[in-house]
Structure 1
Amino acid sequence: MVERKWDGWRALRFRGLDGKPRLWSRNGQPLNGADQVVHQLGLMQRVAGVPLFLHGEIVVDATLYATKRWFESGRRRGGDKGRLHLFDVLTEEEWPAGDCNRPLHERKAWLQELAAAVRDDPALSWDWRPGSRSGDDPTAVQVVEDEWAFTESDVHDMVQRVWAVGGEGLMLNDPERPCRRKRGPAWVKVKLDNWSKWESPRRAA
């Protein structure tokens, strides 16, 4: 399962000690200034009927630089920015255990179902967050699309398409992999700085 790697900040959505859901960085820092994203994730949780842990990459103005500036200082001036590219979902009960045996392709399908349910239900899509003077941007939360690669040539063609539009690279995932809190061989990044180890075998073949 191949997904585009978005060049932003890793964002985790779960409830804090006060019971309020927020976006958090990998280091446990709150990512304030993306209220419309948090609101739309809450709508997805309403559909699910259980507290959710959601995992994605948040990007401001399509660049890592703009993302970093916004969450480190820009958001203090007020406003609301960011687009969250979601790639995984667990229940909050599953997440603390750090061990979910449901395979990735099932979790991804559930993620797509939740997003579609919010998008297609007028009662949810028109549920404006408190304090908002207009409806939220419906593209503020997107599920990362995936394709299937069967050969190294498939990976080569896909990553070239991503680079052609200024993207960072790809994530290669074993669709059967469970969720674990540690890195392993079931997912691999393909970026310019590690492309040589992919390109050399391809040329040799």
Structure 2
Amino acid sequence: MSTALCQLAQDYLGIMPAGGMLGEVKINGWRCLYFRGIDGQPRLWSRNGIPLEGADHILHRLRLIEEAAGEPIMLDGEIQVDGTLAATKAWFERGWKRGGEAGVLHLFDAMPLPAWRAGGWERPLLERKEWLRTIVGAVDEPWDWRPRSAGRDDPECVQVMTDTWIFDEAHAIQESYRVWAIGGEGIVLKDPASPYRRLRCSAWQKCKQENMSKLVGCKAA
């Protein structure tokens, strides 16, 4: 079994399967997983298995989502502070030690915890995303404040990533340029029928400016 904690994307290969792929905007932050550790306690984790502190508002929200699911789950996404990678890095490396909470978690995958522990889930991506939207939407808003909080939590601190259908290679390039033009990092293309695997694979492909520019340049030549 792979020692990776999550599925990882390869660079875009320049080949689009018949029928296209799902496209998600690539959030420029840190990969963030939610699951219960060997002590049974739910935590936020980096892709390298390091606990992430300073985001108790998000952790609390994810516990409510797990309750709505009715079973222990793993949630996969990207966490970002103040809209930038630099701010995210600064907060989770040292900023949180001064106290407080920060960040928004953008979720893009989910599965039952036993499936994640076994290495992944056979359920296709389209079905996993629909299940994720269902359990996030099923959370009952608490009427009281979270202990040690400064007020009622913003439910928007946890969001499900939207996606769009990318039909072909030209569409992938067009959408990538659109995201770059507004300051984004790029897009991630995902095979809608693919299972989740805790390894790097071509079912997910990242279209970042550095690798796409080389690819487009090679094709133009």
State the Cα distance separating 1:86 from its structure 2 match.
0.4
Q: Aligned letter for 1:45?
A: E
Output the CA distance in 2 between the equivalents of 1:177 and 1:128.
40
TM-score by length of 2: 0.86
1:14–1:52 CA contact under 8 A, matched in 2: yes
Pairs aligned (count): 200
Which structure dedicates a bigger proportion of its chain to helix?
1
1:8–1:64 CA contact under 8 A, matched in 2: yes
Output the CA distance in 2 between the equivalents of 1:51 and 1:39.
14
- Map 1:1-205 → 2, pairs under 5 A: 1-118=22-139, 121=140, 124-126=141-143, 128-200=145-217, 203=220
TM-score by length of 1: 0.92
Q: Which runs of 5+ in 1 are unaligned?
A: none
Output the CA distance in 2 between the equivalents of 1:39 and 1:128.
11
Q: Aligned letter for 2:113?
A: E
Output the CA distance in 1 between the equivalents of 2:215 and 2:53.
38
Deviation string for 1:130-168 (max 9, x for gaps)?
222311122110111000011122112211221122110
- SS of the aligned residue for 2:32 comes to strand
Percentage identity across paired residues of the two chains: 54
Distance 1:149 1:201, change over 3 A: farther
Q: Aligned letter for 1:183?
A: R
Structure 1 vs Structure 2 CA RMSD: 1.6
Q: Which runs of 5+ in 2 are unaligned?
A: 1-21
